[in-house]
Amino acid sequence: MKLHPLIVDAYKVLAGEEMTREETLALAVEIAGEDIMDLLALANKVRKKYAGPIEACSILNVKSGRCSQNCRFCAQSGHYDTGVDTYELLSPEQVVAAARKVYDAGIRRFGYVTSGCGYTVADDEFRQILATLDRLHDEFPDMQICVSIGILSEETARLLAEHHVYRYNMNLQTSPARYRELIADTHAIDDKIATIRALQKAGVTNCTGGIFGLGESWADRVDMAFAIKDLDVEGIPLNVLLPIKGTPLADRPILAPVEVAKAFALFRLVNPTKTIKFAAGRETTMKDFQGLLMLAGANGMITGGYLTTRGRSVDDDAAFIRHLNEF
């Protein structure tokens, strides 16, 4: 059986050529049925040639709930009654204890995550965060520290760089043109982009992705893929919406595994050299098809759980990664 002509054309990525937005959208709209497996196979070839083996990281929800922002998908927004646990910043000792568990399991990338809009001034709480980051570095000098604490200024971005932060997570979530409609109107997408630029200026690498299943179109997904490409970040975490009771998106249908795999493949073709990480939704959406997704261009995962939902154990994922890297 011959390859679909659009997939044949997309093989140019293996030769170092770039996809255009129009070509990517055509793949998104027209590739279906048996041709999807051919698209996934191409994405995996691109991943193996340009992006390297599959890696894992772990994250800790250091401050939970009561967020002032109205992100429509989020259990931690103070605008919605979701029943999520709420607590202020964990102590340095609590964070170090959590990091030690994943470190002892062989994970060498640890994410420090808080709810809230962010830190544009170095207030007392931000200084407490810096002190905890110093403790983490002292305890685990060979562990890469990742942080996700919201919108920053150039000053706070610089301070994070000075306190051992290797990578920062700031997601676009969707097409920038539809951010206000699909995500939130209590802050602007431009503030997020400015944060990424400030971190790049300070020498911090970036992890910038989004969410599928918000009600976005294929065109929106392609727009997000190219917006992230233009930012030239190092990592791209992709989530699948977990509809949470109490949020405006509580009744959204869960995406089919084949649609998720297709979206990941397209992101790989647009961003061939980047770490594309499957974050929330891996277990709940893909279920028995997790391995298929990881062979559709992804080369990273979050292990051990997410901010407000559980994931697979670190040990199970370690074995999973060993087998996936054989393909």
Q: Tens-of-pLDDT digits for all 327 residues of the chain?
A: 799 999 999 999 999 999 999 999 999 999 999 999 999 999 999 999 999 788 889 999 999 999 999 999 999 999 999 999 999 999 999 999 999 998 998 899 999 999 999 999 999 999 999 999 999 999 999 999 999 999 999 999 999 999 999 999 999 999 999 999 999 999 999 999 999 999 999 999 999 999 999 999 999 999 999 999 999 999 999 999 999 999 999 999 999 999 999 999 999 999 999 999 998 877 777 777 887 877 899 999 887 654 444 455 666 766 666 666 666
Give the residue numbers spanning the domain of 37: 19-324
Q: Is 12 within the bounds of a domain? A: no
Q: Confirm whether 4 is domain-assigned.
A: no
| 146 is an annotated ligand-binding site residue | yes
- Predicted TM-score (pTM) of the model is 0.93
Q: Is 139:132 a contact under the CB 8 Å cutoff?
A: no
Check the annotation: does 67 bind a ligand: yes
Tell me whether residue 277 is annotated as binding: yes
- CATH code of the domain in which 260 resides: 3.20.20.70
Task: Give residues with Cβ within 8 angstroms of 201, minimum separation 6.
Answer: 154, 157
In a domain, 6, yes or no: no
Total domains in the fold of the chain? 1
Q: Is residue 5 part of a domain?
A: no
In a domain, 9, yes or no: no
117 is in an annotated binding site: no
Q: Is residue 193 part of a domain?
A: yes
Any domain includes 14 = no
Asked whether residue 119 is assigned to any structural domain, the reply reads: yes
Helices (H), the chain: 5-10, 21-30, 35-50, 92-104, 124-139, 154-162, 179-182, 189-202, 218-231, 257-270, 290-294, 314-324
